Amino acid sequence: MEHQILTFYDWVAKLSSSELVALILIVTLPLVFLIVYALVAILGELKISAFIQERLGPMRTGPWGIIQPVAEVVKLLQKEDITPDAANKPLFNMAPFLMFTAAYAGFAVIPFSSHFVPAGINLGLFYIFAMGSLAVIGLVMGGWASNNKYSLLGALRSVAQIVSYEIPAAIVILSIVVLASSMNLQVINANQGGWFWNWYVFGGPGSIWKLLVIPFTFGMFLLYLIASLAETNRTPFDIPEGESEIVAGYHTEYSGMKFAMFFFAEYANMFVVAALLSILFFGGWNSPFGDFMNGPIWGVFWFISKSFFFVFVQIWLRWTLPRLRVDQLMGVSWKVMTPVAFLCFFAVGLWAMLK
């Protein structure tokens, strides 16, 4: 970026007088965050699902069941790691690594605050897309290598679904790039500074005439929300893992820590799409109230609250909506969302041109 600010990286490098320490710190902090987030999200999923179904959820492990996720991790660590005899061993073992590494690598470009981003590259959005696509390969690898009919079917369904929903998502992101004239997530965030009506969900900064474009930008937000649910295989788009039809889909044959890696990758992806939603449409680390509670430290708070809100929405929808049928699923993506996304793209492009 042109305007040099003293980032977290520079600050640590100055303090410890070593670039390497700063580099290592900046790539490990997302992992610490990811672990804490995963534990919170697992507990959240258990508790929210329980409350939606008028149950209590886990209550025995610790006060109010709050150490349940830790217990689950310990349980998974103690499980036997089974590789089926029929499986293709190298691919079978590689798939969870690919999924997990891709999910973690996606965190590299996520700006947690105006002063903290592991890699503030100009191709940020592109990079997140690339990492999301790598997950598809891991999925097919695991499903095919398991040599199990359920796994193969689950993997194929999953890929068909992710790939279909990537098209409307890509068009929506393209429209945001048109508005922001940049693919750098920090620049996109900085463009939305000020009050909450400068967020791209409300058309971005502009005069009163942007009221005309708000329906389209809000539609884009809804399109991306739907597409992101499909891309993380969450209900109502969870036919790849439909328990009642194909056991657990692509990870039927996985057990122990390899299963945990798939699980972890799913939660990490949930956060990445939630973070993208908050960055692209809701101002990322910007405070909604102008200069009130604004700054690098508050930025972390705003960014994480916004992202957690969207993670909550994903969990909420999972326990509220029924699963779609496979033909409806494909129909929605190709015949409804793609044309609507193109329409929004035209409208936003026209507005950005005339602005």
Partner 1 sequence: MLTDYIPLIFMVVFGFGIGVVFLLAAEALGARRRTKEKASTYESGMPPVRTARERFSVKFYMVAVLFILFDIEIVFMYPWAVQFKELGSTAFVAMILFIVLLLAGYIYVIRKGALRWD
In the range 206-235, which residues lie near partner 1 by CB under 8 A?
none
Show contacts of 8-11: CB within 8 Å, 24+ apart. Answer: 8/113, 8/115, 8/116, 8/296, 9/116, 11/115
Stretch that binds partner 1, among 47-55, 147-155, 193-201, 279-287 (CB under 8 A): 147-155
* DSSP strands (E only) in the chain: none
**Position among 137, 222, 317, 326 found at the interface with partner 1 (CB under 8 A):** 326
Please say which residue, 268 or 315, places its beta carbon nearer to partner 1.
268
Q: What are phi and psi of 234, to 5 degrees?
A: -95, 155
**Position among 42, 43, 103, 340 found at the interface with partner 1 (CB under 8 A):** 103
Please say which residue, 102 or 315, places its beta carbon nearer to partner 1.
102
Contact status: 338 vs partner 1 (CB under 8 A): yes
- Three-state secondary-structure class, residue 295: coil
Please say which residue, 49 or 101, places its beta carbon nearer to partner 1.
101
User: Residue 331 Cβ, how far from partner 1 at the closest point, in Å?
Assistant: 7
Which one, of 281, 275, 280, lies nearest residue 303 by Cα? 275
Report whether the peptide linkage leading into residue 111 is cis, meaning its omega lies within 30 degrees of zero. no
User: Residue 334 Cβ, how far from partner 1 at the closest point, in Å?
Assistant: 5
**Interatomic CA distance for residues 35 and 203, integer angstroms:** 35
x/- site string to partner 1, residues 11 to 50, per CB under 8 A? Answer: ------------xx-xxx-xx-------------------
Close Cβ partners of 262 (under 8 Å, ≥ 6 residues apart): 96, 99, 100, 142, 251, 254
**Position among 68, 114, 151, 191 found at the interface with partner 1 (CB under 8 A):** 151
The footprint of partner 1 on this chain (CB under 8 A) covers a number of residues equal to 83
Please say which residue, 132 or 193, places its beta carbon nearer to partner 1.
132
